[in-house]
């Protein structure tokens, strides 16, 4: 009983006579190769233009013939190269972002997170003090009587209670994200650590 010849170990080498000596399962057309790769047949044509090996170039009514093993090896190598290129691109973009942040720190366009928090707390205290003084100022300037002062004081107390509740809850996600990016970029640069953009 005749047996199928074994695949040649040097499948990357060009085969004479269009690969006629390859076993039948290795010789595929464009549609079969597209099924193997899980792509559209037009993608196989694009791959061919990009250097994917062929056994027989098609054209003018002739169908291209491909060695499935060689084409899969080419495709795998390309997928690995694409992933490597994507990783390099991400790394370069991250480095550019770090450099831009460090440049912004050097130009004074970023401030430390702690400075923003202290400024916010200082503003809260200042506004609270102004609101607390309103009932007395309104009475002294004749806007309200002494009898109405407790009602205005209660209103001012509720306003200051709301102001004092400001605990950066709305800013927390943005502060955390900005700090994380700047912390990564700082890498030991104490000036850039936990910096935020100026408004």
Q: In what helix (H) or strand (E) does residue 67 lie, and over which residues does it extend?
A: strand 66-67
- State how far the Cα of 69 lies from the Cα of 77, in Å rounded to an integer: 12
Give this prediction's pTM. Answer: 0.35
pLDDT at residue 25, rounded to an integer: 81
7: helix, strand or coil: coil
- State how far the Cα of 183 lies from the Cα of 101, in Å rounded to an integer: 10
Nearest to 43 by CA among 61, 20, 60, 66: 66
CATH of domain 12-107: 1.10.10.10
CA angle 60, 63, 66 (to 5 degrees): 135
Nearest to 111 by CA among 42, 199, 35: 199
- State how far the Cα of 81 lies from the Cα of 151, in Å rounded to an integer: 73
Per-residue pLDDT of the chain (199 residues; tens, 9 = 90+): 444 444 444 444 444 445 556 678 888 999 999 999 898 999 998 999 998 998 888 778 888 899 999 998 888 888 877 788 888 888 999 999 888 888 888 888 887 777 777 888 888 888 888 888 888 889 899 888 989 889 988 988 888 888 777 665 565 566 566 655 555 544 444 444 444 454 4
pLDDT at residue 19, rounded to an integer: 52
Number of neighbouring beta carbons within 10 Å of residue 197 = 13
Residue 116 burial by Cβ neighbours in a 10 Å radius (0-12, 13-18, 19+) = buried
């Amino acid at each position: 009983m005749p047996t199928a010849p074994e695949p040649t170990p040097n499948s990357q080498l060009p085969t004479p006579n269009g690969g006629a000596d390859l076993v039948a399962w290795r010789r595929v057309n464009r549609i079969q190769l597209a099924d193997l790769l899980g792509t559209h047949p037009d993608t196989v044509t694009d791959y061919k233009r990009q250097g994917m090996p062929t056994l027989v170039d098609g054209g003018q009514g002739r169908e291209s013939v491909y060695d499935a093993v060689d084409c899969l090896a080419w495709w795998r190598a390309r997928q690995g190269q694409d992933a490597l290129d994507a990783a390099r691109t991400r790394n370069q973009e991250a480095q550019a972002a770090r450099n831009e942040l460090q440049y912004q720190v050097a130009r004074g366009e970023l401030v430390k997170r702690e400075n923003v928090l202290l400024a916010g707390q200082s503003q809260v205290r200042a506004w609270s003090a102004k609101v607390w003084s309103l009932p007395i100022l309104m009475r002294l300037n004749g806007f309200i009587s002494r009898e109405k002062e407790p009602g205005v004081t209660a209103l001012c107390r509720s306003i200051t209670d709301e102001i004092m509740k400001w605990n950066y809850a709305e800013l927390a996600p943005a502060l955390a994200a900005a700090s994380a990016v700047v912390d990564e970029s700082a890498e030991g640069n104490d000036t850039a650590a936990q910096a935020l953009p100026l408004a």
